[in-house]
Amino acid sequence: MLQAGVAEPETSRLVHGLVVQRDVGAAAGAQHADEAGGLQRSKTPVPPHRVGIISNSRAHRNHVNGEEPVTDSPQVKGVLYRSPRSLPELSRTLEEFAEAGIELLIVCGGDGTLRDVITCASTAFADGMPRLALIPTGKTNALALDLDIPLNWKIADALAAAEAGHIRCRSPIEIFRPGSELPDLRGFLFGAGAFVRATGLAQRTHQAGAFSSLAVGLSVGWALAQTAFGGSSNVWRSGDRMKITAPGVDVDRDFYLLCGSTMRRLPLRLKPFGKPRDGLKVLAVDAPPRRLPIAAPALLAGSEASWLERLGYHRGQADEFTLSMEGGFILDGELYAGGDVTIRRGKELEFLVP
């Protein structure tokens, strides 16, 4: 259900005493990168811009703690606030934002909310995405962790970051179905095979009250135990048939796990792709996984020892590859049907950070 609209009063409180002025400006600064990966300042002053807020009322902290941003008045000068309840509503909302000239898009939700927003936005903002701010209110908030955004970050903090001009850039993963000109999906963490089953375990930990890094740790540990102690016919060990094609790569066999991400850092500082770096990193593990109790700790710690490759733990990096699979795949926590897909690194998005 859509919420409040655009505005007549000059100010209105949004949340926790925040007062939003008519316009929000951003200060100038010299562009630079930090060691954490891409902290920048705008090269030139950002002109006063219009702000759009997308809030997922069903996101974990919004729903449980009542932290969803609200407005005192149904009309707020310079701010569009919406809480769409379906993907068609979200698409219409983003088209409205694009027509209104939104230059800062604030997303209140988790990884799944952001996935849906940037997927739908590829059509609405075909000429270029606005700057983004993520208010992490979901169950895992992996991208917020990667961007060094604290879980208690609020809209007021995002607006302060806009004034300071602090940004980090991340490229999303884009997934295309055959015949598609625009990406069917955009997100930051992709997985198939055991990754699908492990995500199912993570959902069960959420139901038990575990969230964020705790949920990730429990699901990873549970998945490794299911695999290591299963018999030869165990579904975890037998893997899934996949055909992977990329420059210099053409393989068609059973894989225990396939996953990829454009994030630099994962929850619990896990490093399945090796040392932190930009780009689309990929990990493919042959089925059945060999010497898993020994290999898994080294792999997750980021070891690049050659014996991991010899045992069937393959790391790589590619701007684009094609994948054919019978089973489904996960993108930022959601299960999608398999088939033939093209997976590629998308254009960088700018995120406000502290």
Tell me the C-alpha distance between 225 and 102, whole Å.
Answer: 48
Residues 6+ apart with CB under 8 A from 120: 87, 90, 91, 94
Instruction: State yes or no: pLDDT of 226 exceeds 60.
Output: yes
pLDDT at 17: 30
Residues 104-144 have pLDDT tens digits of 999 999 999 999 999 999 899 988 999 999 999 988 899 99
Cα distance from N-terminal residue to C-terminal residue, the chain: 31
Residues 318-331 have pLDDT tens digits of 999 999 999 999 99
- The token pair at 8 is 């007549």
- The token pair at 55 is 């809030």
Is pLDDT larger for residue 74 or for residue 96? 96
Tell me the C-alpha distance between 316 and 284, whole Å.
Answer: 8
Tell me the C-alpha distance between 205 and 218, whole Å.
Answer: 7
Instruction: State yes or no: pLDDT of 68 exceeds 60.
Output: no
Mean pLDDT of 335-344: 95
Tell me the C-alpha distance between 294 and 110, whole Å.
Answer: 33
CB 302 within 8 A of CB 165: no
Instruction: State yes or no: pLDDT of 60 exceeds 60.
Output: no
Residues 38-53 have pLDDT tens digits of 555 544 333 346 899 9
Residues 136-181 have pLDDT tens digits of 998 889 999 999 999 999 988 998 899 898 999 999 999 999 888 8
Q: What is the mean pLDDT of the chain?
A: 79
CB 3 within 8 A of CB 89: no
Tell me the C-alpha distance between 96 and 321, whole Å.
Answer: 34
SS3 of residue 341 by DSSP: strand
Tell me the C-alpha distance between 99 and 111, whole Å.
Answer: 26
List the helix and strand counts (H, then E) for the chain: 10, 23
Domains with residue ranges and CATH for the chain: 5-169 (3.40.50.10330), 187-348 (2.60.200.40)
Residues 202-221 have pLDDT tens digits of 565 545 444 455 555 556 66
CB 315 within 8 A of CB 273: yes
Q: Among residues 264, 285, 115, 262, which one has the least CA distance to residue 195?
A: 285
- Burial category of 324 from C-beta neighbours within 10 Å (exposed 0-12, middle 13-18, buried 19 and up): middle
- Burial category of 126 from C-beta neighbours within 10 Å (exposed 0-12, middle 13-18, buried 19 and up): exposed
- If you ran DSSP here, which 8-state letter would residue 312 be given? T
| Sole residue written with tokens 């850039």 | 169
Tell me the C-alpha distance between 299 and 150, whole Å.
Answer: 27
Q: Out of 58-67, 254-263, 298-307, which region has the weakest mean confidence (pLDDT)?
A: 58-67
pLDDT at 199: 80
pLDDT at 235: 75
Q: In which band, very low, low, confident or very high, does the pLDDT at 18 lie, cut at 50, 70 and 90?
A: very low
State if pTM tops 0.85. no
* 324-328 long-range Cβ contacts below 8 angstroms, 24+ apart: 324/242, 324/243, 325/192, 325/240, 325/241, 325/242, 325/243, 326/240, 326/241, 327/192, 327/193, 327/196, 327/240, 328/192, 328/196
**For the stretch 277-312, what's the b/e string if a residue is b when 16 or more beta carbons lie within 10 angstroms of its beta carbon?**
ebebbbbbbbbbbeebeebbeebbeeeeeeebeebb
Residue 85: other Cβ atoms inside 10 A: 12
Question: DSSP string of 152-205?
Answer: T--HHHHHHHHHHTEEEEEPPEEEE-TT-SS-SEEESEEEEEHHHHHHHHHHHH
